[in-house]
């Protein structure tokens, strides 16, 4: 799966490199003006940085910034977003924590989905 994602992101690096080579390789009377070369280079660098960041996040596994809540089908945008409403989600798997979940005296809650313990007071 990672190989497919990297192959998908490869054009976002290769095409801007090719475009910069075309912009700066042509010189003389038929080439683009300096302003256009600089503007094109800035656009190419922006697209390339997105492609490189995408590849890096896929390879390192940091692409999952938001976890899918399996019970509601919506994305969990972090634990603080749910604490304001009074409901909680597991920081390990993103499952919603119901009022029937096991709670220890110290405030630890057991996730009904992945069975891991976490503290709701932190």
80 class by beta-carbon count within 10 Å (0-12 exposed, 13-18 middle, 19+ buried): exposed
**51 and 6 both lie in a single domain:** yes
Does residue 62 have a pLDDT over 50? yes
- For tokens 């590849």, the residue is 55
**44 and 82 both lie in a single domain:** no
- For tokens 């976890």, the residue is 67
The arithmetic mean of pLDDT across residues 20-42, rounded, is 85
**28 and 53 both lie in a single domain:** yes
Last residue of a domain, one of 60, 85, 101: 60
What integer pLDDT is reported at residue 69 of this predicted model?
57
- The per-residue pLDDT for range 77-111, each reduced to its tens digit, is 544 444 444 567 888 888 888 777 788 888 788 88
Q: How many whole angstroms separate alpha carbon 78 and alpha carbon 89?
A: 9
* Cβ contact 13:31 at 8 Å: no
**43 and 73 both lie in a single domain:** no
* Cβ contact 111:93 at 8 Å: yes
* Cβ contact 19:40 at 8 Å: yes
- Which band of pLDDT confidence, cut at 50, 70 and 90, is reported for residue 68? low
What integer pLDDT is reported at residue 43 of this predicted model?
95
Last residue of a domain, one of 37, 60, 83: 60
What integer pLDDT is reported at residue 64 of this predicted model?
55
Average pLDDT, the chain: 77
**Structural domain harbouring 95:** 67-119
- Closest CA relative to residue 55, chosen from 21, 4, 20: 4
What integer pLDDT is reported at residue 38 of this predicted model?
94
Q: What is the pTM of this model?
A: 0.49
Could you tell me which residues are beta bridge partners of residue 109?
Answer: 103, 118
Q: Count structural domains, the chain.
A: 2
**96 and 114 both lie in a single domain:** yes
**7 and 49 both lie in a single domain:** yes
**53 and 27 both lie in a single domain:** yes
Last residue of a domain, one of 13, 32, 60: 60
């Amino acid at each position: 799966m990672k190989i497919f994602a990297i192959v998908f992101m490869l054009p976002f690096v290769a095409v801007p490199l090719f475009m910069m080579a075309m912009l700066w390789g042509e010189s003389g009377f038929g080439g683009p003006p300096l302003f256009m070369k600089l503007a094109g280079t800035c656009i190419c660098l922006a697209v390339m940085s997105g492609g490189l960041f995408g590849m890096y996040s896929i390879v390192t596994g940091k692409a999952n910034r938001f976890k899918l809540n399996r019970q509601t089908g919506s994305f969990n945008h972090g634990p603080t977003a749910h604490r304001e409403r009074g409901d909680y989600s597991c920081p390990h798997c993103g499952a919603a924590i119901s009022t029937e979940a096991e709670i220890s005296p110290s405030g630890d809650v057991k996730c009904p989905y992945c069975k891991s313990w976490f503290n709701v007071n932190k």
